[in-house]
A = this chain, B = another copy of it.
Amino acid sequence: MSIRLTEARAPLTHELEVLDEFGERRRIAIPAERSLTVFVDKRELVTLMTLGVAPELLVLGYLRNQRLVQRLDDIDSITVDWDVQTAAVKTHRGIADLAAKTAKRIVTTGCGQGTVFGDLMSEIDSIVLPEASDPAGRLSQATLYRLLNAMRVQESTYKSAGSVHGCALFRQDEMLCFIEDVGRHNAIDTIAGWMWLRGVGGRDKTFYTTGRLTSEMVIKSAQMEVPIIVSRSGSTQMGFELAQRLGMCLFGRASNRHFICYCGFERFDAEPEPARQSREGSGS
């Protein structure tokens, strides 16, 4: 039984004329932002604000990460129509207790999607990530640098129009999937949809995000069993504490050959940069 998905596409950027500090008018591009109202078996569920890169995968990942659908083959089809800005999800047997499942609302910290229906916190303690001794759940400093370089050279809407977050899924330094969205939670949900559709597991993977490592980002990563997260930005206290509790490895402020590792040192094969060591050796 396979799921039927449309491949709805829409422009990702919009050109407009702006005025700058020199009094000059010039044309720039900004990212699209559009609403997508999700209906499940004709019942309105939620409206997502999105860039619109892969809306079917976004909806799929949203249903997955909100734990509204348990099995992929419960879904018959997802039909996105940008003309009316809707995503129609058809299930084979309906979703039991949809109202109850969506009753609790947590308004979260982060950029983007920003809402996790309740009970996720109680769920995460049941998550068991791969052992730190398992090579698949580790990262070396050289691999981290190659991963960061892959992000640096990646073509993106961010480069052309700014104001979007990027997320990527890596197996060591191999980029498997790269998604941008106006909200980073949409980006991570879209990757979750991509993984679910292809049966790709998270236990030997690393997440990269341009967004901050807030509680919700860490929870979503853990839900997908991805033990390592790399961010260009920093961590909040709750993001850090959750990651620590789950035995995840968090890197922040990561770009070029710079980073800090917040926790999960035991998953990290450090190969320290020589520069400061030699300065230390000289007693400075």
Contacts and interface: CB of A to CB of B under 8 A. Distances in A.
24 contacts: A18-B261, A19-B260, A19-B261, A19-B270, A20-B259, A24-B272, A30-B236, A31-B237, A33-B238, A33-B239, A44-B104, A47-B106, A49-B108, A50-B109, A105-B105, A109-B182, A110-B182, A114-B115, A161-B234, A163-B213, A163-B233, A163-B235, A182-B214, A182-B236
Contacts of A162: 233-234
Q: How many copies does the complex hold?
A: 2
A106 B183 CA distance: 13
Given A163-B233, A163-B236, 9 more contacts: A16-B240, A18-B262, A19-B260, A21-B273, A22-B275, A33-B214, A105-B105, A108-B114, A109-B111
Nearest to A32: B237
Interface string A172-208: 0000000000110110000000000000000000000
Given A23-B272, A163-B212, A259-B20, A107 B237 contact: no
A14 interface: yes
A28 interface: yes
Interface residues of A, number: 72
Interface string A92-126: 00000000001011111111111100000000000
Interface string A8-36: 00000110101111111000101111110
